[in-house]
Amino acid sequence: MIKKNPIILKGQGSSRSSFGRKLLKFILIVGIWGAIALAGLLSWHGYHLPDIKKLETSVRQPSIVFLTQDRQEIAVQGDMHGETITLKQIPKSLIQALMATEDRNFYNHWGVDFKGLLRAVVRNVVAGAYVQGGSTITQQLAKNLFLTPDRSLNRKLKEMMLAFWLEHHFTKDQILTIYLNRVYLGNQTYGVDAASQQYFGKLVSYMTPLESAVIVGLLKAPSRFGRNQDLLKKRASVVLTNMLEERYLTNQQYDYYLKKLETLHLHRNPYGNNNRYFTDWVLSEVVKLVDVDQDLIVTTTINLPIQNVAVQKIKNHIAINGEQYNVGSTAFVAMSYDGAVRAMVGGQDYNLAQFNTAVQASRQAGSIFKMFVFLAALEAGFQTDMMIKDTIYQNKNWVVHNFGYKERGEVSLGEAMVHSVNTATVRLAQKVGVSFIGNVVERLGFEKPPAGDLSIALGTYQTNLLNLVRAFAILANDGHFVQPYGILEIRASSDGKILYQREPQREEKPEKLFSDHALSTMQDLLQKTVEVGTARKAQVPGVVVRGKTGTTQKFRDAWFVGYIPNLVAGVWMGNLDDSPMNRVVGGNLPSQLWADIMREATRAGGMEPVAAEPAAT
């Protein structure tokens, strides 16, 4: 029998005991220092927490409602908040959808659900991407009220501390009530009451379980889902599935709502984005007239039938011709003779591009600028039957050719204008003088072009569509100056007090900017341009049309601006990256689109057609 060596056994036990004590001591020291570090970290973050008094105030942008002259609402900008509601006013299905999707353990945790957080981490690791958040409703409220949306450890720690603070100071029902009244739900809408009215046109208390699922579905990505019904419906189906899993819905109810979801029509943004280019422009004028630190009601000049016709016609034209002719952007402006803007379209889709081409894009005017050259010539005493050379023009390295015009050697000034003859226009500009042409341009409301630059005769001068339409409105308005405007009245929403009101037009018009001879002759030339010249495709049967085409080098810009009785309008086509179109000139697509819009606009906008008479010869 082998005996155990007690000395060895004693030594081994002593060694193990010593190691255990050292390990325990090490763990204790690390724990103490870890606790100190954690306390320090929490203290530092606690010191830098935002002011919790924000909970008592609701900070939002003022809401501005835009109306037509007959008080029809066309758009709302700014934050929309509904009535403050209690938990009793909220349908049970909305609470259930929220619990099932956002925080299933809401009534059991202390502000942070560590099990839910761990579950989210595991799902994200397995998926290899961020697919699920672990924030509770209390944490979401803390983030929405006090913090920025950036994802960082610093922000997460503050969020957790604020969540504990909220749970300590408020009951669960109070937290839920605050959350549902403050949460952002897309389209500048805050709170479930405002969202219910925005998306479904009803009070929140009347929402169905399906509508509750849609509202909760917005929470994941309110800005993106609020603009895209397909994405929102997919997310709502996930919410319905969550409600089924939590037994808030039976299988029969789930199948029923899932089927109804396919055909669900959202009341969201009933006026669409058709008017946003116009209201954005109007808003830029509102801030010049009144303080916008309060809710406002703005009565505008827009004519909805004309606006809707323009939007639809532009969409149709782009769908048919956009790809073939490489037309990336189109703008349209219509105004009354006095400058009241009746329609404005700054692009194909406001959701994709908020840049208002009609106002913000400075483009070369092209051949449309020739109207200013010939108007200056008429003002200087030139006659339309005077002859001028139409052959190739050359001055040192600058060579000017004609486009789509057969040279005759000489051409009358009238024909040169009607057929947009480049070489004759440059020679006429030389005779009239660039300085005098600049003076005429200034009278029409533009900045004076550079002195001595003869190339402006061919339209190198840059401007925007609104300014060009205004220039033609001055001609239509018998030579009296016109200032574009879109606002008739501004009131305070709170008490209806009038803050601004446009003065009625005076009976006595100001002095004419041009002579009667220059005005009447230009009217005839613009009418002939449409009847037999470059703008023949702008003709509207039974209506007098006067206008001018414009095209820039390499087909980068194509214009048509013209007027019928009571209405002036213009079309621009091109690409914002300045790439050329496929041989689009002012006389084809822009003139066609203009005529298509005006044909319907005369009827839809309540304007009677005026029988056309031949221009004077």
CA distance 595 to 597: 5
Predicted confidence at residue 26, as pLDDT, reads 64
> 514-571, pLDDT tens digit by residue?
999 999 999 999 999 999 999 999 999 989 999 999 999 999 999 999 999 999 999 9
Please state the rounded mean pLDDT for residues 118-138: 64
Residue 16 has pLDDT above 60, yes or no: no
Q: Helix, strand or coil for residue 500?
A: strand
Residue 5 has pLDDT above 80, yes or no: no
Please state the rounded mean pLDDT for residues 291-306: 92
What residues pair up with 559 in beta bridges, in sequence order?
550, 572
Predicted confidence at residue 604, as pLDDT, reads 66
Read off the pLDDT band of 201 (50, 70, 90): confident
- Residues whose CB falls within 8 Å of the CB of residue 454, separated by 6 or more in sequence, listed in order: 395, 426, 429, 430, 434
Tokens 């789930």, residue located? 254
CA distance 443 to 452: 18
Task: Please report, for residues 82, 325, 481, the alpha-carbon distance to residue 339 in angstroms, rounded to integers and kept in the order given.
Answer: 37, 33, 9
Q: Which two tokens stand for residue 200?
A: 């479904």
Residue 153 has pLDDT above 80, yes or no: no
Read off the pLDDT band of 316 (50, 70, 90): very high
Predicted confidence at residue 41, as pLDDT, reads 46
DSSP string, 362-392: -EE-GGGGHHHHHHHHHHTT--TT-EEE-S-
Do 475 and 515 contact (CB within 8 A), yes or no? no
Predicted confidence at residue 613, as pLDDT, reads 45
Read off the pLDDT band of 382 (50, 70, 90): very high
CA distance 150 to 243: 30
Residue 102 has pLDDT above 90, yes or no: no
Across 124-138, 269-283, 568-582, the highest mean pLDDT is recorded for 568-582
Read off the pLDDT band of 267 (50, 70, 90): low
Handedness of CA 220, 75, 493, 360 (dihedral sign): positive
Domains delineated in the chain: 79-262 (1.10.3810.10), 363-462 (3.40.710.10)
- Residues whose CB falls within 8 Å of the CB of residue 2, separated by 6 or more in sequence, listed in order: none
What is the DSSP secondary structure assignment for residue 220, as one 8-state letter? G
Question: CB atoms < 10 A from the CB of 588, how many?
Answer: 19
- Residues whose CB falls within 8 Å of the CB of residue 566, separated by 6 or more in sequence, listed in order: 336, 337, 607
> 38-63, pLDDT tens digit by residue?
455 445 444 444 554 555 445 556 78
Q: Helix, strand or coil for residue 124?
A: helix
Residue 256 has pLDDT above 70, yes or no: yes
Q: Are strands 341-345 and 329-335 parallel, antiparallel or unpaired?
A: antiparallel
Please state the rounded mean pLDDT for residues 395-424: 92
Do 334 and 568 contact (CB within 8 A), yes or no? yes
Predicted confidence at residue 296, as pLDDT, reads 93
Read off the pLDDT band of 226 (50, 70, 90): confident
Residue type (1 letter), 13: G
CA distance 138 to 324: 54
In this predicted structure, which of 112-116, 388-392, 590-594 has the lowest mean pLDDT?
112-116
Please state the rounded mean pLDDT for residues 126-153: 65
Segments in 498-554 forming alpha helices (H): 516-531
CA distance 51 to 46: 11
CA distance 35 to 27: 12
Residue 592 has pLDDT above 90, yes or no: yes
Q: In terms of pLDDT, which residue wins out, 27 or 272?
A: 27
Do 508 and 310 contact (CB within 8 A), yes or no? no
Buried b (16+ CB within 10 A) or exposed e, 223-253: eebbbebeebbebbbebbbbbbeeebbeeee
Please state the rounded mean pLDDT for residues 158-166: 75
